[in-house]
Structure 1
Amino acid sequence: MTTDLTTSAQWIPAFAGMTKRGAYAALLIGLLSSCAVGPDYVRPTTDIPASFKEQAGWKVAAPNDAAPRGAWWQDFNDPTLDNLQDRLLQTNQSLRVAEANYRQATALTDQAQSQLFPTVGASFDATRSGTANSAPTGAPSNSTARTSYRANATANWDIDLWGRIRRSIEAQDESALASAADLANARLSLQAQLASAYVQLRFQDEFQRLLDTTVEAYARSLQITQNQYNVGLVARSDVDQAETQLAQTQAQAIANQRSRAQLEHAIAVLVGTAPADFTLKPTTMTLRMPPIPMALPSTLLERRPDVASAERRVASANAEIGVAIAAWFPDLSLSGSYGVSGSPISKLFRASNVAWSAGASVAETIFDAGARSARIDQARAAYDGTVAQYRLTVLGALAQVEDQLVALDTLKRQGEAQAIALRAARSAEQSIIDQYRAGRVAYTSVVQAQAQALQAEQSSITVRQNQLLAAVVLIQALGGGWDGTSAGAVVQPAAKTDASARK
């Protein structure tokens, strides 16, 4: 049970004009109302390793976790991507949904806080009434009429003796913080989606340039082979193979155009624009691999907004246990009214017309067939569920980082091996073409060598694309950028650690 003397002291000016005994009684009520039954919250413990398994070779970062998230996408060195990220923050509809949910959560917190204060009402009535007296036949009727007035003010105050209202406020406040973390997580997720889609689109442009260049080369080869066939230097099968190779590459180029268009449509939706009104023209590749210093596993508890959201929901569920426990204690409420009634209105506020009342009531449930016990059990079970979800979220965050660390490491080595394969494929292609022109090999060998060279080119582009995509996901997994700002857009309140989450 905790007592907030600071809050109680704020009520002291209201005691002016009271008797000394009344002031002491009111102060006692204020102190009691700041007591709260139920467990005080401490953060659940989690098993966090000292370092990532795949961390070898990475530099440990020292982020400022209380600052806003940095513009991490700027490290990819693409002005168009920077512009798109700015548009996303302004016009993305999913982000607006998350922002609206956050405003709803803060409004619920305000509603809960209002229960700490008295409810005051006022009313004013005017009533016209009269009587009609009987009169002899032919005589005018004799009637009287009177207007009466009534003004009344009422006040009701539910005294929070056992902290039911305060625990409710605590639960709603923690839920609002969770919604703020959800908003930050939605923002980070959408930014990562946009960056990934943009990376893929630019590499589709790279594929398209490669395929278009290859189609031109294959078209020239077909024309040369056709000319050689026309003069009887090669067989018809050489022409067929050259034509097949050209048509297949043209089909790949057309399929690549479809993939690029779909990525462009996805980016349009992310920035809140109809696809018909959005175009990204092909341009020279400027994307580069960003520097990614490593963070320690423990920093994920502060940096990642999804972890912050899960942890705040644990705190909210913990407060709900106190709300359920408070149902076992009696409710105390104070009420009062002050009013005047009379006629005419000019004499309404005379002392003789005043009526007032004041009272207190205490209510306690005697028998409910176990309903309150069941609600406490429900609250404790809900708390246990949020603890498990929090720990699961932490484990998922650790696994996501490990996945992308190993992905970047293997992709780097894969890229080095692929560069060797590409050089060898190009050399083999040129050697086979020279041998074909010298008449030492069949055209089938040329087709195979060119296909292998094209595949090696495509694989090399794919590896570079996957490296950038893995960098985007790793940055998201670590919670954001490192330009002197934090990934975590949610500032969490201080919480005790390494202790049981329930008393």
Structure 2
Amino acid sequence: MRRVHLFALGLASLLAGCKVGPNYQRPDTLAPPAYKEGGSPGAVVPPPNPKGGTWKPASPSDGMLRGKWWEIYQDPQLNALEEQIVPQNQNLRAALETYQSARDQVRVARADFYPTLSVTPAVSRDQVSSHRPLAVSGTNTGYSDFQLEGQASWEPDLWGRVRRSVEAAHENAQASASDLANLDLSLHAELALDYFELRGLDSDARLLQTTVTDYEHQLDLNQRLVKGGLATAVVVAQALTQLETTRAQLVDLNEARSEYEHAIATLINKEAGDVTLAPSPLDLALPGVPVGVPSQLIERRPDISAVERRTAAANAQIGIAISAFYPNVVLGGGGGFESTNIGTLIQGPSALWSLGAQATQLLFDAGRRHAITDQARHNYEAEASTYRATVLGAFNEVEDRLSDLRVLNEEATTEQRAVAAAQHSLDLSNQRYKGGATTYLEVLVAESTLLSNQRTSTDLVTRQFSASVGLIRALGGGWDVAQLP
């Protein structure tokens, strides 16, 4: 029996090398050699390959973003807020629990590699009928039965079903980890966007406060001119209207600022009343964002990684479906002791054992297994197509953000010239008004034009920072697939 047992185990080990179903290969994607908008201001690109050379940027490259990407803005207040997301944000904690659940599923799948063992102790006291057929008069009709038995059952992974199940669980766990990384990136990017919007409003508020002060001086000047008989009350009414309108804009700006403060509080899981950010105009220098080369983007975007891992899991499901066409083989055995006396339970004559094997082959299921296999193949093709679409969308998203930076830089340069021209126009109008060569209406128009251009220029700075954060998010932040568990 020992030889039979060893032969069966050896045969099972030999067959365990078989694994049905296709082995996974990442779906092909075409990466452009360089970004079309790679020369955009605010983007740092690696040097081109030398002529006739084989130089290739390292992956991950030293010129790529790493870790806490928000530190490139060199803003201590932003850094302090970003550090509070991981320990505080509840959405991120929920995603972490989801990943840990997926990781536990890998352990569940791996358990099928091993046999199941159980033990069944039992004690009973039995009384049989003295009037039963063929009963011998005077014999004992009561007895005790003590049992200590164990059972073992093992289904060897002859066709790779368990290995494919572990593969699928493993890839799904990594996909869940990528989802976690993608949410982490999104939350940090959202906080940075809200923060720069808030600081942009602070810049706008500073501009409006300065303008209110200038308009107060204008109102005072016109009131003195009216008292001297050099102007009419209409001029004072016009100056006062412009002043109060600007004050109202300043109040409205503060209301919008409060909403961004509340949004930041939500991201770090705090009550709105617990977060108060002191006014700080956006006077930072816009940093350059290292973009690397397009081929690296596939390794740097957690959302791409999530779809790619789910594609691998779908491929493993094909092997699981195909394994249903092969017989199931189960090896089992049991053994233990049984006696009517507890004192003789653990003795040689009380021993009992059994060994056995069973194979089951399904012969007819009306095409169910074929349908499940076809379904698994279609699911894989769907995931592969989603992966390719995600990669293409990622390339285009980076191009969009690079384009945004380029266009905003050009627009900001043009707007700065417009502000200078509007300021010069206002200076001339003030000189003409004080000299009596024109009406105050000309000054009002010049002031309104200047303020409009100044606010546009301030808004463009905010939009440049938002586009910069958007580019970092499109590049995957400082993440890399090497971080997958």
Give the 3 Å change call, closer, same or farther, for CA 92–492 of structure 1 in structure 2. closer
Partner of 1:416: 413
In the superposition, the TM-score normalised over structure 1's length comes to: 0.87
Partner of 1:60: 46
Partner of 2:313: 316
Once the two structures are superposed, what CA deviation does each residue of 1:432-480 show, in whole Å capped at 9, x if it has no partner?
1221122211111111111111111111111111111111111111122
Contact residue 155 and residue 336 of structure 1 kept, 8 A: yes
Contact residue 155 and residue 335 of structure 1 kept, 8 A: yes
In the superposition, the TM-score normalised over structure 2's length comes to: 0.90
Contact residue 52 and residue 402 of structure 1 kept, 8 A: yes
CA distance in 2, matches of 1:290, 1:149: 80
Contact residue 201 and residue 281 of structure 2 kept, 8 A: no
Please state how far the C-alpha of 1:215 moved relative to its aligned partner.
1.8
Contact residue 184 and residue 489 of structure 1 kept, 8 A: no
Equivalenced residues, count: 463
2:480 corresponds to which of 462, 477, 488: 488
Match of 2:155, SS state, is strand
Match of 1:159, SS state, is coil
| One-letter identity of the residue aligned with 1:177 | Q
Partner of 1:138: none
Contact residue 167 and residue 322 of structure 1 kept, 8 A: yes
Identity of aligned residues (%): 38
Give the 3 Å change call, closer, same or farther, for CA 350–405 of structure 1 in structure 2. same
Contact residue 196 and residue 282 of structure 2 kept, 8 A: no
Corresponding position: 1:50 with 2:33: yes
Unaligned runs of 5+ in 1: 1-16, 135-142, 482-486, 494-503
Please state how far the C-alpha of 1:202 moved relative to its aligned partner.
0.9
CA distance in 1, matches of 2:193, 2:256: 14
Alignment of 1:300-379 (within 5 A): 300-379=297-376
Contact residue 308 and residue 492 of structure 1 kept, 8 A: no
Partner of 1:13: none
Match of 2:236, SS state, is helix
CA distance in 2, matches of 1:291, 1:56: 11
CA distance in 2, matches of 1:343, 1:220: 112
Partner of 1:218: 215
Corresponding position: 1:453 with 2:450: yes
Once structures 1 and 2 are overlaid, which stretch shifts more, 431-440 or 198-207? 431-440
Once the two structures are superposed, what CA deviation does each residue of 1:392-426 show, in whole Å capped at 9, x if it has no partner?
11011001110011111111111111111111111
Please state how far the C-alpha of 1:216 moved relative to its aligned partner.
2.3
CA distance in 2, matches of 1:131, 1:37: 56
CA distance in 2, matches of 1:473, 1:279: 25
Once the two structures are superposed, what CA deviation does each residue of 1:199-237 show, in whole Å capped at 9, x if it has no partner?
111111111111122122223322332343344432232
Partner of 1:298: 295
Once structures 1 and 2 are overlaid, which stretch shifts more, 337-346 or 78-87? 337-346
Please state how far the C-alpha of 1:491 moved relative to its aligned partner.
4.5
Match of 1:115, SS state, is helix
Give the 3 Å change call, closer, same or farther, for CA 59–151 of structure 1 in structure 2. same
Give the 3 Å change call, closer, same or farther, for CA 156–239 of structure 1 in structure 2. same
CA distance in 2, matches of 1:437, 1:411: 38
Please state how far the C-alpha of 1:22 moved relative to its aligned partner.
4.1
Partner of 1:36: 19
Alignment RMSD = 2.4
Give the 3 Å change call, closer, same or farther, for CA 189–279 of structure 1 in structure 2. same
| One-letter identity of the residue aligned with 2:416 | A
Please state how far the C-alpha of 1:490 moved relative to its aligned partner.
4.4
Partner of 1:152: 149
Contact residue 177 and residue 484 of structure 2 kept, 8 A: no
Give the 3 Å change call, closer, same or farther, for CA 55–132 of structure 1 in structure 2. same
| One-letter identity of the residue aligned with 1:224 | L
CA distance in 2, matches of 1:120, 1:89: 42
Partner of 1:497: none
